Structure 1
Amino acid sequence: MVDVSFKVKKKIEELIGIGEIDTAKKLLQEYYKIGKDDFEYYSYSGVIKLIENDFESAMYDFKTGLLYNDLDFDLNYNLAFAYENIGEYSKAHWHYKRCTNLRSMGKTEVELVNKINDLEKNNIIQYHNYNKKIVFFVKHGMDSFLGEVVDNISKEYNVLKIIVNDYSQIDLGMSWADICWFEWCDELMIYGSNLGVAKDKTIICRLHSYEAFTEYVYKVKWSVVDKVIFISESIRDYVIESVKEIDKGITSVIPNGINLDKWTYSKRKQGFNIAYVGYINYKKGPMLLLHAFKAIYDTDNRFMLYIAGKFQDDRDVLYFEQMIKEFGLENNIIFEGWQDNLDDWLENKNYIICTSILESQNMSVMQAMAKGIKPLIHNFVGAKYIYNNDIIWNSIYEIIEMLNSEYDSESYREFINKGYSLDKQIFKIKELIISSKKSCNLLQMPLVTVGIANYNYGRFLKDCIDSILNQEYSNYEIIIVDDCSTDNSQKIIRDYVMSYTNIKSIIHKDNMGTAVFAFQEIINSAKGEYFILLSSDDYLANSTVICDLINNFILNPDVDYIYGNLNLVDEDRNINTIWKYSDYDGYMVIKHTFENFGSGLLPMTVGIHKTDYYRKNNKTWYHDSNNIVSSDVLNTLVNIRDGWNFKHVDITVINYRKHHNNTTLNFKERLKSIVSVTEFIINNFILGKNRLLLEDIQSQDDLLFYIINHYYEMLLYYYNNNWSPFGQTNNKNAVLHSEYFIPIIRMIDWYISKLIKPDSYKDKIADMVQELEQIKGEINDK
């Protein structure tokens, strides 16, 4: 048998080589009977389709072949060639690169390298995590709702759609894929969910409508299913009530989307042409359709009913033939069968009618609405979950009224645009795929730089580095900047750098005294599209942090920074408090920071930054030599001033370790730093051209006195030991360190000197001066 197969394949190869394509195709068809599981069958079939310029079919064959042998050079090379010819250069690049690791008798390494270099020279190469694989399973003729979903997901995933003819294809596809999508909750879903491999895959099932009323839903092994997509809310409610094994938490309602670009819109008006599109069967209410149209006809015999579809039951055919004659509608009901171009067919229609008893959505109605055609929708089960009441009718009397009511093409189109567009469907599906991961199955996996600033935190450093190495997200680099540590930090760093190719270090010869320079070096050296900044005494909260943050960046591409929450932990990693942030806008951050005497609202090191924001604005970490403690607060304000976009997500990002050496607890440096922060706010948002705060104060002196009073209240706040970082009581005796307050006192004196008419505030200032003199006296005594 092996001998026969070899000879047949050899002959096919020869025929292709001499251009005898028709003969090769016939022989290949014969070989399929014994070689349908042979990867070379798909290789030859794909090559023939390449010769015929049928690139889509060729790619399907090559992908199918790779299910059987994903290390075959010819399959990878020819798939790359096909991708290159249709302009999918990143995918072509990926498969050419893969070929460099595979042996071949035909292609030299030089040829491959030239191919790869040409692609890199002339195109932007982005893999979008193409190594992640998703398979779509569907029966023949049942993929009408799937095409545009596959087209869109395949832009970012390595996708294969399998039209299942026998169950062995499911075994093969599931063993290949990371994510398995079953388009219907049918026999394929039952079979796939009961395979042993299902528990290790991400399983997604889409349940449309008819399946809800079959035995299928009771035979699926729901415990291995990660997500169930329902098309309508009413179907979900029914299934959840009926099938107790389905946890509502894994369900989502994502209607089918309408590609608005495919439906020609025009502003229409009342007329006499009514369209019906779809099968004619018991679910579609055929009797109601006839009787409703008869009532319409009786109001005006110019009305016409055009039917694009076909009967599924001869009994309905007989009934229609009889009743059309009885009603005298032979000239007013026109059967036109299935339409290849429904957009054209609908062009001269004024209405579309639906008489169904139950629908998940009714795509043809929505397609007509996208064209601006008025729908006439019978109140089927679930209709009011989907459509507005003014286009739903209960009785035949009401449909007559509806024909004479307002006609508003724009609102019909806008209804689809707002709630049922293809873009919205794809967005929700991508979001669902991301959230359904059993591992970090992202649509994109861009490089992330994780930067660590370290000084003498050797006892904490391994926790920090290991929290990154343990991430499910795999595409990252680590940059560790050590500020001339004198403990064992540098030895720990060297050991990690020697062991991991994606870790590099920057060691300072002299101590810089602040993490600011480390952060600058990390930002300037980062190769990642995104970067995370960590202090080495902190560490990532769990193994999905980077994956979760990138998920949210993919879904929010216009954002420059995404931040989450933190846990406050002790030196032994015990969680003491969960510190939750919220979504803020720039004004809230500035106002809160000012009113709370320099305490920031928005964390700069509890999230992930977009590198491009810094590159395109020629920015790095902003440095003020008087601000060692609160450089993160200061950088938040600088970025807000410069048009920074930021967003909160409710996930825990870091474990912030409280210990006696925390920079935050350095009281002396803190007071200098809050003056730095406050002065930035005053100069940029109060006295500057971008004034956001104190806009109700018009007089320059009134504004200056407000600032003087603000600094005075700040002084008393800290002087009286009211400051308690992270809820921790500040036990420092401020009087013993009253020289710490000199920066605040100087600012009060300076702003007093700037008053144009100081006598106007003489009494108020006198009280302040008395307190200031007391504090100054204590300082002088020391």
Structure 2
Amino acid sequence: MYEEIFELINKGEINKAQEQIEKISDDDPKKYNLKGLIHFNKKELEKAKEQFEEGLKINPIDSDILFNYGYLLKEMNQEMESWRYLMRIHDKDWATYDLLGDIEFKDRSKLASLRFYLKAAELTNNPQMKKKFLEIRNKIKKDTKIAFLCLPVLDNFLKDIVETFSLGYDVKLVVSTDANEITQAIKWADIVWLEWANDLAIFATNKVPEIANKKVICRLHSYEVFTDMPEKINWGNIDQLIFVANSMKIIFHKLHPNLDLQSCKEEIVYNGVDLDKFKFSIHKPGYNLAVLAHINYKKNPAEWIQIISKLKEIDKQYKLHIGGDFQDPRYKVYFEHIKKEMKMEDNFILHGWINEVEKFLEDKNYIISTSIHEGHPYNILESMARGIKPVILNYSGSKEQWPNELIYNTIDEAVEKVTEETYDSESYRRFIEDNYTLEQQIYEIEEIISYPKKDLSINYLKKNVNDLKISYVMPVYNGEKFIEKSLSSILKQKIEPYEIIVIDDASTDNSYKILSKYQKRFQNIKLFRNNINLGGLQTTKELLKKANGDFVKVVHQDDGLYESYAVEISRINDVYKYSFIVNDFTYITDENIVSNYLKKIWNNFELDPNKLNKEDLLKFLVIKGNYVGTDSNVLFTKENLMKIDYLNDKDEFLSQKGLYGYDYYIYLKLVNISKPKFVFKDLSFRYEHSNNVTSKHIGSFRRIIGLHKILLNYEHLLNEKERKIAYFNYFGRAIYSVKICKNPEEKTKMISYILKNCSKYLSKEQENELIKLL
């Protein structure tokens, strides 16, 4: 029957197909798949989306619906959402892998995309697919030689990484204790990866002189931090130290406070799951609990007995399945004894070491983690990827890594989390997809590997990015209080500024005299002056027209850069491909100093903007508002600014003098071209004071109009539900401006404007609130 309907659809006999579809039961997911296909053929994409989603509610792992839904999302430019659903297909064909490769290549990691293209090539005799894989591999493959070094038995966490990097680099994996074998690998390599900060790292950094000339990366997992091994490592020979969790970094510095890591860059890269191995399926509350662990004191095994004992009192059907080897034989003796004593032979089951973890988890309802300490545990990652609910003891760092509703403090709380009705397989899988995939891990590691070696000269750093040409531009108006600090911060950059262009916008204080003094001292400062005050927007436009660099950095008179700014920009992999670069900044007021300002905001949303594709980021910024910052913490690519006609007055919004939000508007236009890059490091600082342009506009009519006009320009991207949310958020910002406005006449204009232009989306309560403020 289904094949007949497919044939009717392919022939274009839609009416006949629809008649046949209506005969299918409403609880059959294929009914909605067929309906979706009809809407898709009619180019009714939103309706097709609704039908596919209905089908997935009935069967979330229906391969046909997942493929069609994924393909549809890609057509709707929601590529990472497409990736999510295509990855959930259990038995993927070569076409699915090819599609996944295309998405990965475009939106995240070109290296990780090769994994998908290779699988596609292996699953088909299609010569074009094999040719595509080889061409892409040859295009991105680098001559760099990487030696991954690890002691025996400790290479489990390294296998997927080595397999992937071998597709794009010349790779050797050495799992050995043989000093000569390790030494030869170091001599051969351009980059040395030391897996674990343990005895091997001690030997390599102290006994192999050649390592001083190599780029060296060391990854610290967990147990090493509680030993004296970090004290014996020669950190001067290590360029980058990778922690698998922020909590590990904190503990490391607490326990080893006297280590000199000045020459070693610290990174955090969380573990990632190969979602192709750990297939998603719907799990539900049940009676099968699982533990996967090396059985030792750290895992707190005695608590397993207590938990299953309490559950058995509730229902004898509960069983705890233990997968793992005994690293401490005392626990084996204890378990064999206590099972008999408590009559739990049928409830406490020891399986030994599990090789096929994915299969072992198939019929399990819960994964139990009672560890008193963890780095970033794979047993939880892999179980959640399968759709299994984890119950996690509150170890140090757990609340940073996992949804807090899955964490417990006491045995009674653990039992409650098992017996409660709350269970959501899809959300567990989604959490891993959004945060801890192998592809994201590969992407972050490759960025780290691409950083230049620490002791290379600054000239080499510049050469690596084709002589990084940043034009620093500064609009100044009555800025005598701050401009010396601001200029000094640019001049102190470790990579010498390509040029510094300043326009004094007819200042009436000593700004121009101060600027003239600096121009005489430094040849790379170009100084201009407006005869009349043109305002910030027009002056900035003039500056950008004069800029000759590949990148343009606006540094306002009350902003500054940390010395490492340009060096950090130079380390961004493929820096030229981004429409703009956003850095985090320190926000300085008279009352306090707030660092990591943007990171804290994005953490509140539980989102990483770097993980969003450009379409999703664009919609997010339209709905939520400007969470990029100001143009003072953004590095623009000059080429992209030219593409959006920023430098002329063709754009109606940008031609309106003094209208609030022009930087926000520019970001949206640039995001529409290509993805930006967010660097969550404080590379600049900003003084907030009453004369800031932003501060002046907060309670102004121009702010109300500016934000609304931006929304009008982009609301076509949103569906009706999203528009309502966007206008709700706009109203929140607008009502705040109204409340702090001190000019009665301006306040009336603001309220009238909102009522006139936004009434369609205002609730009765919001209208009443505005009217009361009149």
TM-score (norm 1): 0.47
* The structure with more radius of gyration: 1
TM-score (norm 2): 0.47
